[in-house]
């Protein structure tokens, strides 16, 4: 059983990224790339064929299903392959939904080749593999749960950081303006701040949302 190679599916909408991942992974003993997918939907369909052990999944695709949504669809099936997210995004708003969706690993695209290969092997064995920065942030989040924003709160605050008004945020997220205000009130309480500007600054420092600079 241990002599069987770990079969990989690469899911990313950039051909050059897939080519780079393939070049790195296929130099590693015991790893073989059996398929590639350019969309999240294609990754879900290909993963269901039963000959893939680990999916390396991008987080964001051009339109359609997201990487987190695809991860949830893949991991919901019996006997599903493991999913390792590999992306450039490492804020709570990105990492938490992906892990909640069932991702076994979460790496950044600047990870060294040996770290990538180790993560694939760990995932294939059923072990969690997280980028150090992501692991540190999740640990800190657990240690200070009061500062942890929900997915919706992080979305609202991200749009605040982009300069949208409460009315515009409500329209974007299909919420009433009153609901947006309620989300902001909870955000202020959790972050210990009293204004939109301070909330954005605090959330950026904590890595809950990415820097807009």
**What was the pLDDT predicted at 140?**
63
Contact 159, 172 (CB under 8 A): yes
Contact 157, 197 (CB under 8 A): no
Question: Nearest Cα to 26, choosing from 42, 3, 10?
Answer: 10
pLDDT tens by residue, 130-185: 888 777 766 666 555 555 778 888 889 989 999 999 999 999 999 999 999 999 99
The CATH number fitting domain 6-141, selected from 1.10.10.10, 3.10.180.10, 3.40.50.2300, 3.50.50.60: 3.40.50.2300
**What was the pLDDT predicted at 1?**
42
Where do the structural domains in the chain lie, given as residue ranges? Answer: 6-141, 145-206
Residues of the chain with pLDDT > 70, as a percent, come to 92
Q: Which residue has the higher pLDDT, 132 or 5?
A: 5
> Is 145-206 in the same CATH topology as 6-141?
no
Q: CB atoms < 10 A from the CB of 101, how many?
A: 21
Question: Read out DSSP for 10-74?
Answer: EE-S-HHHHHHHHHHHTTSTTEEEEEEESSHHHHHHHHTTS--SEEEE-S--SSSS-HHHHHHHH
Side by side, the strands of the sheet bearing 82-87 are: 31-37, 6-11, 54-57, 82-87, 105-108, 129-130
pLDDT tens by residue, 58-106: 998 988 899 999 999 999 998 899 999 999 887 777 787 888 889 999 9
Eight-state DSSP code of residue 146: G
Q: Report the CATH number of the 145-206 domain.
A: 1.10.10.10
Q: What is the pTM of this model?
A: 0.67
Q: Which residue has the higher pLDDT, 206 or 14?
A: 14
């Amino acid at each position: 059983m241990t002599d069987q190679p770990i079969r990989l599916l690469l899911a990313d909408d950039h051909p050059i990224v897939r080519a780079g991942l393939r070049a790195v992974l296929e130099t590693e003993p015991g790893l073989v790339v059996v398929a590639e997918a350019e969309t999240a939907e294609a990754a879900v369909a290909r993963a269901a064929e039963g000959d893939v052990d680990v999916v390396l999944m991008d987080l964001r695709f051009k339109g359609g299903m997201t990487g987190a949504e695809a991860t949830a669809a893949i991991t919901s099936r019996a006997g599903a392959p493991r999913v390792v997210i590999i992306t450039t995004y490492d804020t709570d708003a990105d990492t938490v939904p992906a892990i909640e969706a069932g991702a076994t690993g979460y790496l950044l695209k600047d990870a060294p080749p040996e770290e990538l290969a180790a993560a694939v092997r760990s995932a294939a064995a059923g072990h969690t593999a997280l980028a150090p920065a992501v692991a540190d942030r999740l640990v800190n989040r657990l240690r200070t749960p009061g500062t942890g924003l929900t997915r919706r709160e992080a979305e609202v605050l991200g749009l605040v950081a982009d300069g949208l008004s409460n009315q515009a945020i409500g329209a974007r997220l299909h919420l009433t303006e009153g609901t947006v205000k309620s989300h902001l009130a909870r955000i202020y309480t959790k972050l210990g701040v009293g204004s939109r500007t301070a909330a954005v600054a605090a959330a950026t420092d904590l890595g809950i949302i990415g820097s807009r600079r």
